[in-house]
């Protein structure tokens, strides 16, 4: 469901660009949820170097910004993500399995093949991690997962993400292993 890359990358400089897509809601004139933006970073070369050159065109780079607890969900359109964490705000990423084959689920605006799940239909088997700035983690985003702050308050989580629509989590892990990243 997830694995930590061997190498850290301290991303200090990046420029966020236009919005690609968002998942969430506007509350009191402020967006709350997840935003993906185009990004420019001097670290892009190092980020893409975790993947062999022949596969790089099958991954998209973006800036992921989260500013609230994110309920259990599966991502839309992508099968696997490699998150290079910039800011983490002491949040826990938790993975779940389904209690049954027909869980209660909903979709919010912009979700296509991803869903938000009712927690009563999920089993948390203590599969989780707490990312630190500089760490990189590969995630199977086709599995239900959530992002929950450990400390009270509004979390801010920022990562530069490589996402693929082509490869499964296991395939991405094999690719990362071939470069010595896993």
**DSSP letter string over 95-164?**
EEEESSSS--EE--TT-SS--EE-GGGEEEEEEEE---TT-EEEEETTS-EEEEESSSS---EEEEEEEE
- Domain ranges within the chain, ordered by starting residue: 2-178
Q: How far apart are CA 114 and CA 108, in angstroms?
A: 9
Whole-model pTM above 0.85?
A: yes
What is the pLDDT confidence band of residue 12, given thresholds at 50, 70 and 90? confident
Q: How far apart are CA 174 and CA 176, in angstroms?
A: 5
pLDDT of 157: 95
Query: Does the structural domain 2-178 have CATH classification 2.60.120?
Result: yes
What is the pLDDT confidence band of residue 36, given thresholds at 50, 70 and 90? very high
Q: How far apart are CA 107 and CA 76, in angstroms?
A: 10
Q: What is the pLDDT of residues 156-173, one digit of tens each?
A: 999 999 999 999 999 999
């Amino acid at each position: 469901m997830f694995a930590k890359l061997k190498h850290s990358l301290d991303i200090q400089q990046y420029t966020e660009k236009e919005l690609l897509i968002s998942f969430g809601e506007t509350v009191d004139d402020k967006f709350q949820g997840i935003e993906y933006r185009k990004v420019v970073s001097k670290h892009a070369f190092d980020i893409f170097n975790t993947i062999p050159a022949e596969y790089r065109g099958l991954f998209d780079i973006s800036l992921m910004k989260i500013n609230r607890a994110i309920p259990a969900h599966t991502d839309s359109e992508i099968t696997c993500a490699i998150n290079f964490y910039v800011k983490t705000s002491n949040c826990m990423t938790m993975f779940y399995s389904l209690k049954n084959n027909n869980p209660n689920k909903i979709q919010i605006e912009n979700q296509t093949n991803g869903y938000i799940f009712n927690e009563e239909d999920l089993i948390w088997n203590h599969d989780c991690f707490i990312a630190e700035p500089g760490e990189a983690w590969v995630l199977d985003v086709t599995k239900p997962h959530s992002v929950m702050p450990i400390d009270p308050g509004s979390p801010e989580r920022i990562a530069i993400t490589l996402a693929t629509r082509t490869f499964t989590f296991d395939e991405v892990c094999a690719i990362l292993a071939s470069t010595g990243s896993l």
